[in-house]
Amino acid sequence: MKKLTPIDFTKKEEKLTRQEIKALLNSSHNDGAIDMDEFNMMRGVLSLDSRTVREIMIPRVDTDMIDVEAPQAENLEFLLRQRHSRVPLYREEKDEIIGIVHLKDVLIHQEALRDGRETLESIARPALFVPDTLSTDEMLIQFQKSKQHMAVIIDEFGGVLGVVTLNDLIAEIVGDIQDEYDDEDNSDYTVINDTEVMIKGIMPVSDFNRIFNLNIETETADTVAGYIIEQLGYIPQESPHELVSTDRFSLTVVEATGTRVETVLMKLKKEDNGEAIGDEAR
């Protein structure tokens, strides 16, 4: 911030409100004082205390978990072929998480696990449970204090909603971080042309707004799929017709399975400057 303003932040009387900081960031970016990466990173930091873990979590239906009652050889085979470093362990049902299995521990105890001297339950580490209303900046503090990298998100009734990882929080600040094991096509969206984008239903509404410079508001939805359902009042199936339309965009469901909206085609309407898709989405 020192780069953007002459204000001396060491003095208590020299303060900026959140809105003033956001306005300063926008004007600095527009003037070329900071580049897109710097702009997005600062904006990500500012949004941490205004977002909850529910908004960025990996939903339960998309979370790989292992049943402690399943044959150990079967569980080991699954753990060794998948690419997650941590996997929740449950008993009987997925609301009963009894620990987190670390792939590192599996590799260390692999021989003992195979001959029965150890079990996945015996090497599992305690799970960190947090409410879905916890802000993302508080989640970061919890990770620092607990020295854990995964938390299980629960609702007010104690049911498991999903998980959030330290990487998810880092991605909120610096953007998605891919390694050599990630699919290049693993993004929540794919730009087709200047006005059309294919979007995954699980894309968070907050990311949708940020990346495409939109400002949709929802009462209860956390994802694009949830937003569509909220607008329609029912769960849609695949359709060649536009289902949701605003003055900025339209949404068409191109893939749905059962009760879940998988993929959505968004058509953006060009603004006065002739552009529809901003720099960040490209």
**Residue 46 placed within a domain:** no
Give, in order, the Cα–Cα distances in Å from 220 to each of 51, 95, 224, 227: 13, 22, 11, 8
Give, in order, the Cα–Cα distances in Å from 78 to each of 2, 3, 192: 50, 50, 35
**Residue 280 placed within a domain:** no
Give the mean model confidence (pLDDT) for residues 67-86.
91
Residue 278's closest CA among 215, 192, 211?
A: 211
Residues 159-187 pLDDT 10s? 999 999 998 888 777 666 555 455 555 57
CATH number of the domain enclosing 212: 3.30.465.10
Q: What is the pLDDT of residue 74?
A: 94
Are 67 and 156 in the same domain? Answer: yes
Are 57 and 156 in the same domain? Answer: yes
Q: What's the pLDDT band for 9 if we cut at 50, 70, 90?
A: very low
Count of the separate structural domains present in the chain? 2
Residue 39's closest CA among 58, 52, 50, 26?
A: 26
**Residue 27 placed within a domain:** no
Residue 266's closest CA among 188, 197, 194?
A: 197
Q: What's the pLDDT band for 93 if we cut at 50, 70, 90?
A: very high
Q: How, if at all, do strands 97-102 and 129-131 pair?
A: unpaired
CATH number of the domain enclosing 170: 3.10.580.10
Are 168 and 122 in the same domain? Answer: yes
Q: How, if at all, do strands 150-154 and 129-131 pair?
A: parallel
Residue 151's closest CA among 129, 176, 134, 124?
A: 129
Are 60 and 169 in the same domain? Answer: yes
Q: Give the residue numbers spanning the domain of 169.
A: 51-180
Predicted TM-score (pTM) of this structure: 0.67
Residues 104-122 pLDDT 10s? 999 999 999 999 999 999 9
Q: What's the pLDDT band for 125 if we cut at 50, 70, 90?
A: very high
Question: Positive or negative, the Cα torsion across 152, 155, 161, 165?
Answer: negative
Confidence check: pLDDT of 88 > 90: yes
Q: Give the residue, 171 or 192, on which the prediction is more confident.
A: 192
Q: Which of 180, 203, 224 is the last residue of a domain?
A: 180
- Residue 272 region by backbone torsions, left for phi larger than 0, else alpha for psi between -120 and 50, else beta: alpha
E strand or H helix at 24: helix 18-31
- Other CB atoms within a 10 A radius of the CB of residue 54 amount to 19
**Residue 78 placed within a domain:** yes
Are 130 and 203 in the same domain? Answer: no
